[in-house]
Amino acid sequence: MSRRILIAGNWKMHLSPDDGAAVVSQLASTVGPASDVEVLVCPTFVGISSALQAAKGSAVQVGAQNCHWEPKGAFTGELSAELLQAAGCSHVILGHSERRQYFGETEETVCLRLQAVLRTGLVPVLCIGETLEERESGQLETVLRRQVTGALAGIAPDQLSSLVVAYEPVWAIGTGVVASTEQAQEAHAFVRSVLREILGSAADAVRILYGGSVKPNNAQELMSQADIDGALVGGASLKAEDFLAIISASKQG
């Protein structure tokens, strides 16, 4: 089954609204109004509006890095999926390992957030991935299975047609150590098999992105793997030239 490649940038807590808009302007002028590869940037919350402005007229989409599960209420400092939708976002990253590690994100809260994103019709980008310790102690599959089934628990399969999963081994994030193509493909194939248990043949339409030290020089090989359908890029998405080189390499993959 052919799945459209998605190259997504997670800017984390980087780039001012002006600097982000400058990156998006460069992306927009190269990507143009239509693109075979889907292109997404996820700025900080305060950078969303200027990124959208800069992306106008191009195929570059703008998403968020997290959301709360309630639609509104007394939740100081939080943003709902509804607010992100009203701001013009198309996608929301959920359950990033940094949120799990530093902000107490659990399988239960990721599941609630996923339901909130689905409720609005935005596209969820669900992040999963093991630590080095988990991999080295033989728990890779247990951890990935737990993260996938935990996030999707209680959600009707027909609600999940837009789901995007990002496999990001924690040990490869921001370290310059990329998973080998074999390691990545193996994990992606396993994640797809777990998705198949839950979604049946619809799992074949779910895009599974790889994240963790994706750079212009390794993108093509990663994208050439059968179950790797795109990338979630951190550091290399902060510079338009690098991100564009990844987009262009992914077309050859």
Binding footprint of ligand 13P on the chain (CB under 6 A): 10, 96, 168, 173-174, 211-214, 232-236
| Least distance from ligand 13P to the Cβ atom of residue 10, Å | 4
The minimum distance between CB 39 and ligand 13P, in angstroms, equals: 15
Q: At its nearest, how many Å lie between ligand 13P and the CB of residue 211?
A: 4
Residue of minimal CB distance from ligand 13P?
234
Run of H or E including 49: helix 48-55
Taken in order 185, 186, 189, 190, is the CA torsion positive or negative? negative
Question: Which of 199, 249 has the CB closer to ligand 13P?
Answer: 249
In whole angstroms, how close is the CB of 50 to ligand 13P at the nearest point?
21
Residue (91 or 199) nearer to ligand 13P, CB: 91
Q: Which residues contact 189 (CB under 8 A, 6 or more apart)?
A: 226, 227
Residue number with CB closer to ligand 13P (123 or 236): 236
- Which residues carry out catalysis? 96, 168
* Shorter beta-carbon distance to ligand 13P: residue 96 or 113: 96
Q: Are 95 and 126 a contacting pair, CB within 8 Å? A: yes
The two three-digit tokens of residue 199, written as one number: 């979604």
253, 223 contact by CB (below 8 A): yes
- Residue pair 64/79 in contact (Cβ under 8 Å)? The answer is yes
